[in-house]
Structure 1
Amino acid sequence: MLTSDISTPRTLEIRGLSVCATRRGHHIDLVRNLSLTLNTGEILALVGASGSGKSMTCAGAQGVLPPGVISPHGHVLVDGVHLAPRALRGRLVSTVLQNPRSAFNPVRTMFDHACEVRRVAAASPAGDKTAVREAFLEVGLEDADTVMDLYPFEMSGGMLQRVMIALAILSGAPFIFADEPTTDLDLIVQARILDLLSGLVARRGLGMLLVTHDMGVVARLATRVAVMEAGQIVEEAPVADIFHAPRHPATRALVAAHLKLYEGAIA
């Protein structure tokens, strides 16, 4: 449960985060002294080329780094209160992944997964059916009672992504880390999921850290943008400034690549 000091969270700060790995005796910096602030009610896009450290930033902040990768420095504050990663996961920060099939236990139903999330949120089991049904309906799973009994292999990628977003709702977490949430979906489903995420932020006042390399998604959803290169944030600005007055070469390259693709699409 949340403490009284952070009962109505408004701001999540990542301060001085470093992530590194050791390979064949060599020390490799993946994220270097990174700091950023996410406010509720906004979508902060974390962008950069593949390998720039975006996903490692999310994993490092939540303490879920892969084997052989460590975070020697950095901490997270919520409304100025320093919290350990385990106090964030599923309570203050929910995560939406790019490959939803990897996030679900294949031998458990969607209702089982939802009930587990509610236990973490300390919700009463007596209200499980109603709460899960309402969350599933909110994310567009219209036959909610049927979906509750389904297993992951019985569902499409788009349905699983909607369930994952429903689990974020059920957690009650005020912040969402969405790591390339539409990469594995077709274009029509992508658009629907993006609209769903944007609507949730607007209706519920959530703060979303949106990890992406797709500048079209950034233009459509983001409030602010932080640009990463080689494990560091090299530019941060409102979304309009990023597109119309990019300062750093990495930012200009991302915008130029986006514009080139767009021009090719309409030629």
Structure 2
Amino acid sequence: MTTAASHLRLDGLTLVTRRHGRPLTLVDGLGLDLRRGQVTALVGASGSGKSLTCLALQGLTPPGVTQTGGRVTVDGRDTAPAALRGRVTATVMQAPRSAFNPALTMAAHARETLAARGITGAEAERRALAAMAEVGLDDPRRVLRLHPFQMSGGMLQRMMLALALLSEAPFLLADEPTTDLDLVLQAQVLALIEQLVADRGLGVLLVTHDMGVVARLADTVTVLDHGRMVEHGPVAQVFDAPAAAPTRALVAAHLALYPDLAPEDAP
């Protein structure tokens, strides 16, 4: 990895906007702890502030949204969110097609990622091919010649993971990484993320509304409701004894789909 960072902490994140001339709090004093080798899930209903949190953590607060509070530390050192991108954090988004420049080949995307680290030429190609093979892309040399429109959503999601590996960032921000994929591809991408955590010791922030994904991958879970953290704890604890009403609703909805399975067995 390009950094030995093992702990990424977000404290007191507060995001506000204005609606009908009045201030509206979108995220209210949220804190998160990310550690290498662990998956932290951030869950909640649509509109609860999950994706906004992921953006703000990287200094990408959208227009019309103001950050009024929040501190990021890396191994205890204050760090500007914008300084995390591509160095400490890499991102996998829910709509992979929108993440790529349609005019560029995969080779160009890989070269751009590696050039930011001063890696060019034959070494850049070697690393790109190795990362693409690691994420399960068949015939990487052929894929390097392709444009985004020539690739499936599953291929693009794997390519996005390959680019994340090329950055050698120790933390992966996965914002609904399987939403746009069919069930078979969802399972494959989740298994791949799980393997990368095991093999590379990545720390993952998994943003999702799917408690099945949480049960499958996460070590700890933070539950958001209207921008507020209402529960946090180990996944088994949250499934077995959810304390907050929004958490109970999410767990009940998930278990209703799998009435004969224990939480750790449910997909």
State if a TM-score over 0.5 links the two structures.
Answer: yes
2:243 matches 1:247: yes
AA aligned to 2:59 is G
Residue 167 of structure 1 is matched in structure 2 by: 163
| Displacement after TM superposition at 1:23 (Å) | 2.7
2:182 matches 1:189: no
| Displacement after TM superposition at 1:121 (Å) | 2.7
Structure 1: how far apart are the matches of 2:240 and 2:140? 43
Count of residues in Structure 1 that have an aligned counterpart in Structure 2: 262
2:114 matches 1:118: yes
Give 1:60's match in structure 2, choosing from 45, 56, 67. 56
2:203 matches 1:219: no
2:143 matches 1:180: no
Q: Deviations over 1:195-251 (max 9, x none)?
A: 000100110001000000111111010111111111111111111101111111111
Structure 2: how far apart are the matches of 1:254 and 1:216? 10
AA aligned to 1:162 is R
| Displacement after TM superposition at 1:262 (Å) | 2.4
Residue 138 of structure 2 is matched in structure 1 by: 142
Structure 1: how far apart are the matches of 2:12 and 2:42? 16
SS at match of 2:173: strand
Q: Deviations over 1:30-88 (max 9, x none)?
A: 10111111100000011111111111111111111221112121121110111112210
Structure 1: how far apart are the matches of 2:66 and 2:101? 26
Structure 1 residue ranges (4+ consecutive) displaced by more than 3 angstroms after TM superposition: 263-266
Asked if the contact 1:47–1:212 (Cα under 8 Å) also holds between the matched residues in 2, the reply is yes
Q: Deviations over 1:77-108 (max 9, x none)?
A: 11011111221011110000000011000000
Structure 2: how far apart are the matches of 1:171 and 1:23? 38
Identity of aligned residues (%): 55
2:239 matches 1:236: no
Structure 2: how far apart are the matches of 1:215 and 1:33? 23
- Which runs of 5 or more structure 2 residues have no equivalent in the other structure? none
2:46 matches 1:50: yes
Q: Deviations over 1:152-174 (max 9, x none)?
A: 00000000000000011000000
Give 1:71's match in structure 2, choosing from 67, 74, 78. 67
TM-score normalised to structure 1 length: 0.94
TM-score normalised to structure 2 length: 0.94
- Which runs of 5 or more structure 1 residues have no equivalent in the other structure? none
Asked if the contact 2:36–2:170 (Cα under 8 Å) also holds between the matched residues in 1, the reply is yes
> What is the aligned-residue RMSD (CA, Å)?
1.7
Segment of structure 1 superposing worse, 242-251 or 184-193: 242-251
| Displacement after TM superposition at 1:264 (Å) | 10
Asked if the contact 1:61–1:85 (Cα under 8 Å) also holds between the matched residues in 2, the reply is yes
SS at match of 2:258: helix
